Structure 1
Amino acid sequence: MCIILCTQLSFGQNDGNSTTDVKKIFDQFMEYRHQNNVDQAMETLNKAANIAESNEDTKLLLDTYHQYSRLFLEEGDRDTAMDYWNIASLLLKDTSYSYGQAFHLYLEAAIRYDEGNNFQALKQLEESRKLSNNRNLTNNILLLEASIYTNIEKYDDAIKNLHALIVNSDDKERAFLATRANLQLADISVKLDDLEEGVIHSKAALELAQKHGFAKEIREAFEALAKIYEANENFEQSLFYARGLAQIKDSIFNLQKARLESDTAEKIRYDHLMNEMNKLQAKNEELSESKNRSEITAILTSAFLTIISLLAVSLFRNNQIKLKTNDLLYTKNKELELARDAAVSAMEAKTNFLSTVTHELRTPLYAVTGLTHLLLEENPADHQKEHLKSLKFSGEYLLNFINDILQINKIDADKLEPLNIEFKLHKVLDDVVESLQQNAHEKKTELILDYDPTIPKKLLGDPIKLSQIFMNLVGNALKFTKNGKVEVIAKMLKKEEDSAKLYFEVRDNGIGISEDQQKNIFESFEQGSIQINREYGGTGLGLTIVKSLLGLFGSTIHLESELGQGSSFYFEMDIDYEAKEGEDISFELNPEEFQFKGLHVLVVEDNKINQVITKKMLTKKEITCDIANNGNEAIDLAKNNRYDAILMDIHMPGISGEEATRQIRKFDPNIPIIALTAISLDDSLDSFYEAGCNDVVTKPFKPEVFYQKIGENIFRRKMEGSV
C-alpha cells in the first residue's frame, strides 16, 4: 500500500521565508520517504512540526500530522498511525481546509483498506476526490484504488488506473508513481497467469527504482522477478534475482536502519509528549507568579484547589463510569460496523449476481434472435413463418426485460453517470418517434412530435439517456393507447446566455391511470394491477428507469391522469447549449448508400455459435470475413492483413477486447473498430471509446442496427476523409 505526500500544502500565517523553508522541508521529506529512509523522513517532518508550532499554523500542523499517520501506517504501526489521525480529526473540526479534509478522507480509506474493508475504502476515496482536484492527491487515489480493485479481483479497473499512472505527469512523484504502478501490474499479471507480462513490468519497476534510489521498490522488484522466473522454470534467472534479494536483506545498512528507525520514532513520540508537558508547566508557572502577588490571591487559590480536588474525585468516579460506557459503546459500534459491512457485501453480491446473470443470458439469446432472423430471411413456409415470428417476438421481449433489469441494477449500484457531449435534441426525439411508428401503426394510433423551433440546435448533455427516457415514456403511452393519439412535446421555457430551461411532455388519450394507482406507478414492477399486466404485458420497470435517469439530471417526472381520458407525463430540465453555432457538415448516410459488396472485415469472437451467426449475417450482405478466437489472434491478424473494419467482442478469455483494441491502435489508428458486447454492470461505454473503439453495438442486436453501424463507420470515414 502506498500513501504519498501531496504537495498542495497551506502554510497559514508563515512569512515568505518560512513558506520557502517549509516547502524545502517537505520536498526533502518526500525524497527520504521514496528512498525508504524512514528515520530521516521522521526527523524532517519534526522540523515542519516545530515551525507549525512556533508560527501557530494549524493547517501546516494538520498536514504534518497527516504525514506522520501515513508514515507509521506504511511501517505497520497502525496504533500510532491512528493516534496521529485522531489528533488531525480534532484539528479539522475548528479549521476550514478542504484539501486537508480530502487528504484526511484519503488516509481513512488507507486505514479501512489496511483493515480489509475494501468497499468502505472505495467510498472514502470517492468522497476525497470530490473535495480536491489536486493532481498529486488524485494520482495517489488512483494508486490506492488499484490496490483495492486488485483485492476484489476487478482486474480490468485496476489495470486501467495503473496504465494511467505509468504515463502520469505528476511534477513531484512521476517516477515513484510509475514504479509502484509497474509493480502492481506485475502482481496482477502473475495472478492472471501472464508471466511474460509480469517480467516486463517487474523489470520496468526495477529500472526506475535503481535509477532513483527507491530502496523498498528495488527489493520488491527483485523478489517479484525471482518468483516469476521460478514459476516459469527459468531457474538460472530465478537464482540470480534470489541472490540479489538475499544481499539486500542481509546488508549491514538495513540492520542499522531498522534499529535507527525504531529509535527515531520513539524519540519523536517522546519529543511530542515533552512538548505538551512543557506547555502545561509554563501555564503552571504563570499561575504560581500570580499567586505570589497577594495573600488574598493565595487564599482564593487554595480554596480553588480544594474545590478542584473535590471535583477531581468526582470526575474520577464519573470517568470510571464513562470508561465502562465507552467500552460498551465501542462494542456496539463494532457490531454496527460488522452489520454495515455485511449489508454492503450483500448488496455487492446481489449486484454482481444480477449483472452476471443478465450478461450470461445475452449470449444464448444472441443465438436465438440471430438464428430466427436468418431463418426468416430464407423464405420459410407460411406455417413456419408464424412460429418464427412468435419466436422473434419472445426473444425481443426477453431482451427488453434483461436490458431493464441491467439498467435498474446499474442505477442501484451508482454505476450511471450522465455524459456532457454536443447533440441535436430534435434528431434524438425524431429518431425515437420514427423507431416507434411501426408500433403506433399496429395500434392504429397517431404518433406526433410537437417540437419548438426556438430550442437551440446544439445542446450539451447526454443524448443516450434522454433517448432512453423518451423510448420508455412513448413506448408506455403506445402500450395503453389504441385508436388514439400520442404526442411528444418539447417547448422552450426560458433561455439564458449559455443554458436553457426546457419543458417535455408525453401525452396520450389511452386508458388512463386511477388516482390510487398513481401513487405507486413509478415503483419497480408496478403496472397498476395484475389484470393490466396480463392484458398489456411488460415488465413494470420502464417508469422506474425514467424516474431514476431524470434524477441524474436533477429533474423530476410528474403525472396527470384520469381513467378513460388518458395520461400526461411531463418534466422540466436545464440543459446547457453552444451559444456560437458553427456551420454543420452533414455526414448522415442512408442504408441504401452502403456498398457492402466486396468489404472484408475481421470478426473477433470466442463463442463458436456467435461466430457462425455473425458470419452468416455478413454473408447476406456479401461481406467476407476472417475469424479471430481471442484478442491475441486479433492483434496478429490485424497486423498482417488489411481489413475494412474490425468487429470486436469485449469479453474474451486472456486479454479483453479493450486491451486488444489498445494494442491494434498502436500500429493502426484509423481502421474502424466496432465493439460487439453483451454489456454488463461493470462495462462503461466511455471505457470502450477511450480504448479506441469507434462505435458500440450491444448483443443481441437487431440486424438492421448491426448493418447500419458497419455502414456508418466504414463509409462515413471515407466521406469525412474526402471532405
Structure 2
Amino acid sequence: MKKKLSLFFVVHTFLWFQNVQSQDFSISKDSVTEILTQSFFESTHNEYEAALKLQNFALEWGKKKANDSIIGEAYDCIGSTFYMMENYDKAELNYKKSKEFLQKANYTSYMVYHYNNMASLYYQLEKFEECKQQFLLSRKIALEIESTVHALGPTYNIALLYYREKKYDEAFPLFQEAITYYQSNAGQQPNILEECYNNIAAIYKERKQYEKALKTLTIVDSLGKSRNNYSELIKAERLKYKIYQIKNDYKLSDKSLTKQIEYLELFSKENAIKLQKKTKLEQQLMDQEKTITLTKQINKAQTNTIVRTKLFSIILFILFITTSIISYLLSRSNQKRKKLNKKLIKKNSQLIKVKKKTEYASKLKTNFFSTISHELRTPLYAVTGITDILIEENPKTEQKHYLKTLKSSGEYLLALINNVLQINKFDSDEIEINTISFNLKILVGNIKNSLKYLKKENNNVIDIDIKDNVPLLLKGDSLKLNQIIINLLSNALKFTHNGNVILSIRLKEKIGNKVKLKFSVKDNGIGISKKLQHRIFDDFYQESILLERNYEGTGLGLAIVKRLLKAMGSDINVKSNRGEGSNFYFDLVLEEASERYRTNSNVSTHVDLSSKHILVVDDNSVNQMITKRILENKKAKVTVADSGIKAIKYAEDNLYDVILMDIHMPKMNGYTATQNIRRFNSTIPIIALTAIKLDENKEKIYTSGMNGIIVKPFRLENFLTEIQKAISL
C-alpha cells in the first residue's frame, strides 16, 4: 500500500455553527477563518459531510465579499477533504482553483500549506518529481517567514521522501527537526509526532542501534494510546517484532505479534466506521449532482413542451405501431426459440455427461498406464538382468544362442511396453522436444547393432547410406530421432524376408547453421496396397491383420513415428505397391553443432569396480539379487538395504562410493531417504535405480538430491557407464 503523506492546515480555535446553518454572511473574516479551522478538525475525524458544509459556506462568503484570500483558502480546504476521501481528481481541481486566488491575494503564508497539500497529492499520483518540487517551495517560504508552524509540514514530508529513497542520514535530522516544531505547536498536527518517532526508530534499526530503536518506540506507545492512533501503534509493534527476532528474544517478539493483532482489530473497526461515513457522503454528493442535472433537464423540457408535443405524439404513434409489429414477430420467434432451447438444453446435458465420462475414462487410463509401467518393468528387469548375468558368466557355447535370444526377446518386450506408454503420453499432450548435441553416424550405428537379431530372424541385410555432404555433428532431439529410425527399420525388417533394407540420409538444404536432411527407409518386402496406405498410421493398425497375423507386432510403430515427427515439425510419407516393397521418408531440420561432440561408441561391459563399496537400496528381493550379482561380477563390494530407513542408517555408519536408490518402497520411499542422507552427507553420489515412469518424476528425483537416473530394465553397458560416471565425479 502507498504511504500517505500528511496534510497540514492552518489551525484556529473557535467555530460559529449557527452562522453557517443560517447562512449568515454578515459575520467577520476572522469568524470565517475559524469556520475553516473547524472544518479541518471535522475532516481529520472522518466527518467529511460536516467539513464540506463548513468549507462551502466559507467559499460562498468569500465570493460575496470578493475576498480572494478566503476563496483560495476555502478551495484548498475543500481539496484537502476530497484528498482524505481519496477522490484525487476533485482534490486536484480544487487545489488548482485555490492556487489562482491565493496568488492573486498574495497570501504568502498560506502558500506553504497549499504547496504541501499539492505535494501530498502528487505523491499519491506517483508523480514524485513534482511532489519534491512542491515540498521545496513550501519549505522555502516557511523558512523565509521564520514560522515553525509553516515549516513543520514540508520538513516532515521531505524527510519522508529521503526515507523512501533510503537516504537515512538526510532523513534522520529532518525527522528530529519536525519533532521540535511539533512540540512548540502542540495539538496542531494529529499523528505527526508518532510517525516521526516510528521513522526515527526504523532508522535506528537499519543502523543496528536496537536499544535506541526500542527506547524510541516506547514514546510511540505512550502517544499512540493517548490518541487511539492504531495505525502507528501497529507499525511500532511490527518494528519491535523484527528487532526482537533479530535479538532472538522470541518471548517479546510473540508479545509484539499479539499486540499487533489487538491493534489491528481496533484499527479495522475504526476504518469500518470511516468507510461507512465516506460512502454515505459520496452517495449524497452523487444524489445532489443528479438532482441538479435533472432539474436543468426538466426546466429545458418545460420550455420546449408546447413545440415538441405534436412531434412527440406522432413519434409515439409510430412507436406504438412499430412496437406492436415487433411484439408480434418476437412472440412467434420466442416460441420457436423456446422449443430450440429445450432441445439444446437436453443436448448440452447429454454432452456434459459424455464429457465427464470421457474425462474420467482418460484419467483412469493415465493412472493405469502409470501403474502398469512400473509393474511390467519390475519383472522384466529380472528377465533381462539375469540374462546379462548368465551371459557375463561364460555360459556353454550351445547356451549362448539361447541366452542372446532371451535377451533379444526381453528387449523386444521392453520396446513394446515403451511404445504402448508412448501412445498414452501423446494422448495426454505431454510430448516435449529436448535439444542436445549428437553424432549422427554413431546414432545410426548403434541402431543398426541393436537390430542385428531382428535382421537375422528374416535373413535380411541392413545398408546404411549417409551422403558425404551430410554433417555428422548435429543438435536436435536425438532420442526421438533414434525412436523414429528404430521403428521404421523394425517395420521394414519385419515385413521383408531374404531382402535388403536401406537407410539413406542426404542433405536437401543448408541455411546458416540449419540443415534440412531427408531420411528414407526403403525395403523390398511385401509392400502396402494403395487403398490401405492412409490407415497404416492409425494406432494398433496392421495391414497384416488382413493376412491372418502372419507378421507379429502391435501396430503402434508407425503411429508413434507420425506423432513424433509432427512434434518435431515434420511429417512421414510413404511410397509403396503391393509386392514391390515400401519407401518411408521424411524431412527434418536440425542444427549443425558448433562444438566438438565427444562420445564413446564402443561402451564396454568389462568394468573393474574392485575396491568400490556400493549400497543397493531395493525392497524387491529379486531386484536385490540381480543388481548385487551384476556388481559383484565387476568385483565391487555390495551392501543391500531393503528399506529407506535402513539405507539412512547404513549411509550414516559406513562410507560408500555410490548408492543405488529405488523409489517406490514401503515405510519410506527413495525421495525421503535421499533427503535424509543429504542432511549429513552432501557429496556421496546417489543414483535412482527405478522402474517408475520417468517423465513425470524426473524433476522430483533431482530435487530430492539424487545425481542420476537408471531406468529398469537397463542395458548392462549403460548401467555400468552411469556408475563409473558417478564414481568419477
Q: TM-score range by the shorter chain?
A: 0.5 to 0.7
Deviations along 1:612-663, one digit per CA (max 9) or x if unpaired, are: 2211121122222222334454445445543332222233345543454556
Partner of 2:64: none
Tell me the amino acid that sits aligned with residue 692 of structure 2.
I
User: Alignment partner of 2:635: what SS?
Assistant: coil
Partner of 1:448: 463
User: Alignment partner of 1:556: what SS?
Assistant: coil
Deviation at 1:351, TM superposition (A): 1.7
Counterpart check, 1:616 vs 2:629: yes
Deviation at 1:509, TM superposition (A): 1.8
Deviations along 1:555-605, one digit per CA (max 9) or x if unpaired, are: 111111122222111111223445xx2455667774167333332222121
Deviation at 1:289, TM superposition (A): 5.2
User: Alignment partner of 1:520: what SS?
Assistant: coil
Counterpart check, 1:570 vs 2:585: yes
Deviations along 1:676-701, one digit per CA (max 9) or x if unpaired, are: 22132763545545655444332122
Distance 1:259 1:673, change over 3 A: same
Partner of 2:377: 362
State how far apart, in whole Å, the 1-side matches of 2:349 and 2:440 are. 52
Partner of 2:503: 488
Deviations along 1:356-388, one digit per CA (max 9) or x if unpaired, are: 123212222322333344456566778987876
Partner of 2:432: 417
Partner of 1:506: 521
Deviation at 1:408, TM superposition (A): 0.8
Partner of 1:601: 614
Deviation at 1:283, TM superposition (A): 10
Deviation at 1:472, TM superposition (A): 1.0
Tell me the matched-pair count.
490
Q: Which residue of 412, 416, 420 corresponds with 1:405?
A: 420
Tell me if the contact between 2:605 and 2:717 (Cα under 8 Å) persists in the aligned partners: no
Larger mean CA deviation between 329-338 and 456-465 belongs to: 329-338
Distance 1:285 1:255, change over 3 A: same
State how far apart, in whole Å, the 2-side matches of 1:270 and 1:339 are. 55
Deviations along 1:310-332, one digit per CA (max 9) or x if unpaired, are: 76788889599599689856776
Tell me if the contact between 1:291 and 1:297 (Cα under 8 Å) persists in the aligned partners: no
Deviations along 1:453-492, one digit per CA (max 9) or x if unpaired, are: 4444543322111111111111111222233222222222
Tell me the amino acid that sits aligned with residue 722 of structure 2.
K
Partner of 1:12: none
State how far apart, in whole Å, the 1-side matches of 2:429 and 2:530 are. 32
Deviation at 1:390, TM superposition (A): 6.4
Tell me if the contact between 1:409 and 1:681 (Cα under 8 Å) persists in the aligned partners: no
Partner of 2:555: 540
Q: Which residue of 473, 483, 486 corresponds with 1:468?
A: 483
User: Alignment partner of 1:680: what SS?
Assistant: coil
Partner of 1:700: 713
User: Alignment partner of 2:502: what SS?
Assistant: strand
Q: Which residue of 419, 426, 435 corresponds with 2:450?
A: 435
TM-score (norm 2): 0.55
Distance 1:665 1:681, change over 3 A: closer
**Correspondences of 1:133-148 after superposition (within 5 Å):** none
Tell me the amino acid that sits aligned with residue 577 of structure 2.
E
Deviations along 1:195-245, one digit per CA (max 9) or x if unpaired, are: xxxxxxxxxxxxxxx97999xxxxxxxxxxxxxxxxxxxxxxxxx9xx99x
Tell me if the contact between 1:420 and 1:462 (Cα under 8 Å) persists in the aligned partners: yes
State how far apart, in whole Å, the 2-side matches of 1:441 and 1:626 are. 41
Tell me the amino acid that sits aligned with residue 562 of structure 1.
N
Larger mean CA deviation between 680-689 and 351-360 belongs to: 680-689
Deviation at 1:280, TM superposition (A): 13
State how far apart, in whole Å, the 1-side matches of 2:596 and 2:286 are. 70
Deviation at 1:433, TM superposition (A): 2.2
User: Alignment partner of 1:643: what SS?
Assistant: coil
Deviation at 1:528, TM superposition (A): 0.6
Tell me the amino acid that sits aligned with residue 608 of structure 1.
S
Q: Structure 2: state its 5+ residue gaps.
A: 5-81, 94-236, 242-250
Tell me the amino acid that sits aligned with residue 409 of structure 1.
N
Distance 1:346 1:644, change over 3 A: same
Tell me the amino acid that sits aligned with residue 715 of structure 2.
K
State how far apart, in whole Å, the 1-side matches of 2:525 and 2:280 are. 76
Distance 1:699 1:473, change over 3 A: same
State how far apart, in whole Å, the 2-side matches of 1:284 and 1:360 are. 83
User: Alignment partner of 2:519: what SS?
Assistant: strand
Tell me the amino acid that sits aligned with residue 647 of structure 1.
L
Tell me the amino acid that sits aligned with residue 655 of structure 2.
R
Partner of 1:644: 657
State how far apart, in whole Å, the 2-side matches of 1:497 and 1:550 are. 23
Deviation at 1:281, TM superposition (A): 10
Counterpart check, 1:674 vs 2:681: no
State how far apart, in whole Å, the 2-side matches of 1:350 and 1:273 are. 62
Distance 1:377 1:348, change over 3 A: same
Tell me the amino acid that sits aligned with residue 678 of structure 1.
A
Tell me the amino acid that sits aligned with residue 483 of structure 1.
N
Partner of 2:360: 345
Partner of 2:75: none
**Correspondences of 1:154-303 after superposition (within 5 Å):** 257=268, 299-301=310-312, 303=314
Distance 1:681 1:308, change over 3 A: farther
Larger mean CA deviation between 425-434 and 587-596 belongs to: 587-596
Tell me if the contact between 1:410 and 1:681 (Cα under 8 Å) persists in the aligned partners: no
What's the % identity of the aligned pairs?
38
State how far apart, in whole Å, the 2-side matches of 1:700 and 1:330 are. 52
User: Alignment partner of 1:529: what SS?
Assistant: helix
State how far apart, in whole Å, the 2-side matches of 1:274 and 1:327 are. 46
Q: Structure 1: state its 5+ residue gaps.
A: 1-22, 27-42, 55-209, 215-239, 718-723
Tell me if the contact between 1:481 and 1:510 (Cα under 8 Å) persists in the aligned partners: yes
State how far apart, in whole Å, the 2-side matches of 1:449 and 1:280 are. 91
User: Alignment partner of 2:433: what SS?
Assistant: coil
Tell me the amino acid that sits aligned with residue 368 of structure 2.
F
Tell me if the contact between 2:489 and 2:521 (Cα under 8 Å) persists in the aligned partners: yes
Tell me the amino acid that sits aligned with residue 446 of structure 2.
D
Partner of 1:629: 642
Deviation at 1:430, TM superposition (A): 2.7
TM-score (norm 1): 0.56
Deviation at 1:275, TM superposition (A): 8.3
State how far apart, in whole Å, the 2-side matches of 1:265 and 1:367 are. 75
Q: Which residue of 520, 527, 545 corresponds with 1:530?
A: 545
Distance 1:248 1:333, change over 3 A: farther
Distance 1:25 1:526, change over 3 A: farther
Tell me if the contact between 1:406 and 1:681 (Cα under 8 Å) persists in the aligned partners: no
State how far apart, in whole Å, the 1-side matches of 2:273 and 2:326 are. 37
Tell me the amino acid that sits aligned with residue 526 of structure 1.
Y
